[in-house]
Chain A
Amino acid sequence: QKEVEQNSGPLSVPEGAIASLNCTYSDRVSQSFFWYRQYSGKSPELIMSIYSNGDKEDGRFTAQLNKASQYVSLLIRDSQPSDSATYLCAVNLAGDSNYQLIWGAGTKLIIKP
C-alpha cells in the first residue's frame, strides 16, 4: 500500500529558529509533492509544491526533495508563533489520471515565543 509518513510531533521550536519538517513516501515513481498548513479548526491551505530534486524557496519557506531517498522536507526560517499549525505532506499517485493525493498524518508544529 502506498504511504506517506510524517512524525506526528508535536515539534517544539523557539521563535526565530529554523523548523524542519520531514516526510517520506513509499511510491518510488511519485512526481508531485505538496506541503499544506492547517490551523486548528480551519481547512488545509497550500504552502509549497515541488516537482524536481533539490530546493525550492518561497519567502521563509524552503521545500527540499530527494527522490532517490524518497524524502521531502519543509524548512521554515525565522519561525514565528503564527507558524504554529499542523503541516500536512501530500504526494501524488504516479500515473493516476484522477489527480488523487496520498496524505500524511501531519506534524504538529509549536513555535514558542
Chain B
Amino acid sequence: SAVISQKPSRDICQRGTSLTIQCQVDSQVTMMFWYRQQPGQSLTLIATANQGSEATYESGFVIDKFPISRPNLTFSTLTVSNMSPEDSSIYLCSVTLDAETQYFGPGTRLLVL
C-alpha cells in the first residue's frame, strides 16, 4: 500500500468561500480519485484526477464547483468552491497502485456554516 496524507484534516468555513484540499502520496500512483461521504452514507465519487489533464467528473459534479488539479503522479488538489451548508461532508482521496484496489487517505471533514 501507500502512505496517503490529506490537508487539512478538518475545517469550518463560511458559506460563499472556497476550500482547497490537498492529497499527497509517498509514491507514484496510477489513479487518484476524489470522493464525498455524507454522514451515515456510502461513498460518492466526485471525479477521477487525471495527471496533466482535466479531471473526469461524475454525473452531478461540475468543474466550476469542484476544480481538481493533478500536476504529477503523487499529488492532487480538490477545491470546493462557493460553499454552502450542503457541502458539509467528509472528502476523501483514494489512489490505486495496481489494478482496481483503492487505498484511502484519512479524509477531510468540512463543516460549512
A-B interaction? yes
Enumerate chain A interface residues (CB-CB to B < 8 A): 32, 34, 42-46, 49, 88, 90, 92, 98-101, 103-106
Q: How far is the CA of A104 from the CA of B41 in the complex (A)?
A: 10
Which residues of B are in contact with A by a Cβ distance under 8 Å?
A: 1, 30-31, 33, 41-43, 45, 48, 56, 92, 96, 99-107
Q: How far is the CA of A92 from the CA of B45 in the complex (A)?
A: 13
Nearest neighbor of A98 in chain B, beta-carbon distance: B48
Q: Distance (Å) between the CB of B53 and the closest chain A CB?
A: 13
Pairwise interchain contact B31-A99, C-beta atoms closer than 8 A: yes
Checking A90, A100, A105 against B41 with a beta-carbon cut-off of 8 angstroms, the contacting residue is A105
CB-based contact B45/A100 at 8 Å: yes
Instruction: List 30 contacting pairs A-B, 8 Å CB cutoff, sorted by A.
Output: A32-B99, A32-B100, A34-B100, A34-B102, A42-B107, A43-B92, A43-B104, A43-B105, A43-B107, A44-B92, A46-B1, A46-B103, A49-B101, A88-B42, A88-B43, A98-B31, A98-B48, A98-B56, A99-B30, A99-B31, A99-B96, A99-B100, A99-B102, A100-B45, A100-B100, A101-B100, A103-B42, A103-B43, A105-B42, A106-B42
